Amino acid sequence: MQDLLDKYFAGETTLADEQILRQYFDSEKVEKEHLQYQSLFQFFAKEKKEQLNENFDKKVVDKVGKQGKVLKMNVLRGRVLKIAAVFLVLLTAWVVTKNTLRTPEQVMEDRWAAHEIKDPEKAFEATKAALLFASIKMNQGTKKAAGGVVKIQKVSKYFKTKN
């Protein structure tokens, strides 16, 4: 019987050999060393008796139909993601080439143009404000410098040398 089991697990048995094995494991005379295989052959016998019910085909068709819808959604989502990826690549290429093909002078002109005042009256007011600010800062600097000169004059009295 062991030789027949070895042939079975090697896939070399005939239908007649398999029938002998099924009869052996259905009987009460199974040897102790073969008891581990008995449940396997009992399982095969039980599954062979089981039949599909009438609703099986309908259930399979329903599940396949639902999976078909999911598959369509996944395909649509995949296409949308591919289009978005191509768009991002093209946008990135455009931005990179736009900035690399321009000279630094052109880039600076664009930056200054964004801050240029077009209305002459507003430009005049902005210039006045800038000059007033510069004047105030210059006056503050002059006062500090004058104070420093006075201190230097006081200190220089002590270091006067006679020629």
**Which position has the higher pLDDT, 152 or 89?**
89
Burial of 30 (0-12, 13-18, 19+ CB in 10 A): middle
**Which position has the higher pLDDT, 86 or 22?**
86
pLDDT at position 161: 62
Does 138 score more than 70 pLDDT? Answer: yes
Phi-psi region of 6 (alpha: psi -120 to 50; beta: other; left: phi over 0): alpha
pTM above 0.85, yes or no: no
Average pLDDT over residues 65-71: 58
Q: How far apart are CA 86 and CA 130, in angstroms?
A: 49
Q: At what angle do helices 2-10 and 15-26 cross, to 10 degrees?
A: 130
pLDDT mean across residues, the chain: 82
pLDDT at position 71: 57
Delimit the domains of the chain by residue range: 2-49, 61-116, 120-159
Average pLDDT over residues 91-120: 80
Q: How far apart are CA 96 and CA 130, in angstroms?
A: 37
